[in-house]
Amino acid sequence: MITVGNRVINKDILSILYDIQRSCHNGKLSQIDDGSTDIKVTCPRHASGKERKAACFVNKEDGKYNCFVCDFHGLDFSKFVNECFDKSGDFGENWLIANYASDYISQNLILDKIDLNKQVEKEKYLDESILESFESYHPYMAKRHLTKDVIDKYKIKYDKEYNALVFPVWDINGKLKFLTRRSVEGKQFWIDRDASKKDCYLLNFVKDEPTIFIVEAQLSALVMNGWGFPTIATFGAGLPDEQIETLNNTGVRRYVCVFDNDAAGWKAENKLKRFISKNKFIDFIKLPLYKDPNDMTRDEFIKLLSLQLPDYLV
């Protein structure tokens, strides 16, 4: 899912790229090749947008883009749209909103301003009975390799209203803090307004492990825990300072980062290298380009570990 101007864009990235190809009339995006995680396209910037071999990758989830020839990259998909239409400024944002924006405001994380004169408010928690209002199974769970044991242990649900899986998020002490949802059809992702920046998905389950794996996506964390690897997720590659503080304050001695092999993942790795506590050991696993653990089998992941972090498997 992407949002523009705090509006949800109700169309998947692949379909938008095909719409751009039909609309821009300048020969750009002549190649569009769908992949499991990313879409390979001809770069709209270099060679006047008419390169012979596609070398630019656009992430299907959030529109992040990166060209491995001219290094045209960014996190704001509207800038990519600008380049396709040979425009600048707010054109891309306005074009996306005019064509695909919903009538409702995205439920992204919104933090209230801090009043230093007020007493610190107590943490807010949800009653776990809220989970009983959702259904316990949807075929999409199996499609994304979630086993029954994983579904039951981490209380994954299905919300008919959103047509989405529901992922409960607990704090490190196991108290339910907020819910996130992921569409079972498109790439939309919702996070409750009361979500905290400091919480890491599934940390309460693995906080006593000596080594923890860190991934971006909740589905990847669930699959890896099902494989027997204690894993948490950061809800994307943003990695706010509050999450790093949480990681620094655990008793975990070693973190193994398995971030996406793209510009956002590399940025998150660099941030962790700079700010993780000196009393923590940290390793980085390099995934195949534009893949995440949810695209792999357990055997493929173990083979990757054996090559890059053999001591973990000893």
Strand order in the sheet with 3-4: 3-4, 7-9, 101-105
Cα of first residue to Cα of last residue in the chain, in angstroms, is 40
- Domain borders along the chain are 3-102, 128-313
Say if residues 258 and 293 touch (Cβ distance below 8 Å): yes
**Whether the predicted pLDDT of 182 surpasses 80:** yes
Average pLDDT, the chain: 88
State residue 246's pLDDT score. Answer: 95
Query: What digits encode the pLDDT tens for the residues 221-249?
Result: 999 999 999 999 999 888 889 999 999 99
Q: Is pLDDT larger for residue 26 or for residue 230? A: 230
Which pairs from 269-273 meet CB under 8 Å and 24+ separation?
271/239, 271/244, 272/239, 272/244
pLDDT given for residue 106 in this prediction: 38
pLDDT bracket for residue 102 (50, 70, 90): low
Q: Half-sphere exposure (CA, 13 Å, Cβ side) for 83?
A: 23
Q: What is the pLDDT of residue 294?
A: 87
Per-residue pLDDT, 247: 95
Q: What tokens does 97 get?
A: 């909103």
Transcribe 100-163 into DSSP letters. HEEEEE------PPP-TTSPPPPPP---GGGGGGSBS--HHHHHTT--HHHHHHTT-EEETTTT
pLDDT score of 51: 83
- pLDDT score at 133: 94
CA distances, 288 to each of 61, 215, 259 (Å): 17, 14, 11
pLDDT for residue 109 = 46
Q: How confident is the model at residue 121 (pLDDT cuts 50, 70, 90)?
A: low
Query: Is domain 3-102 given the CATH code 2.30.30 in the classification?
Result: no
- For residue 62, pLDDT over 90 is answered with no
In the predicted structure, residue 6 carries a pLDDT above the cut 70: no
Packed helices 241-248 and 263-275: angle between N→C axes, nearest 10 degrees: 50
Does the domain at 128-313 match CATH 3.40.1360.10? Answer given as yes
- Residue 113 clears pLDDT 80, i.e. is over it: no
- At residue 104, the pLDDT reads 47
Count of positions (residues) in the chain: 314
- Asked whether 78 and 4 are in contact (CB, 8 A), the reply is yes
Buried b (16+ CB within 10 A) or exposed e, 121-151: eeeeebeeeebeebeeebebbeebbbeeebb
* pTM, full prediction: 0.62
Whether pLDDT at 280 is above 50: yes
Q: What is the pLDDT of residue 105?
A: 44
Handedness of CA 256, 260, 262, 268 (dihedral sign): negative
Strands (E), the chain: 3-4, 7-9, 32-34, 38-41, 56-59, 65-67, 73-74, 101-105, 157-159, 164-170, 176-183, 189-191, 211-215, 231-233, 254-257, 281-284
Q: What is the pLDDT of residue 267?
A: 87
Two tokens, residue 26? 């300048």
pLDDT at 180 over 80: yes
Torsion on CA atoms 223, 228, 232, 238, rounded to nearest 10: -60
Within 8 A by CB and 6+ apart from 13, the residues are 2, 39, 58, 59, 60, 61, 63, 77, 187
Q: What is the pLDDT of residue 303?
A: 94
Q: What is the pLDDT of residue 1?
A: 62
Q: Which of 75-84, 109-118, 233-242, 283-292 has the lowest mean pLDDT?
A: 109-118
What confidence score (pLDDT) does residue 259 get? Answer: 92
- Counting residues of the chain whose pLDDT is more than 90, the rounded percentage is 58
pLDDT at residue 107, as a whole number: 46
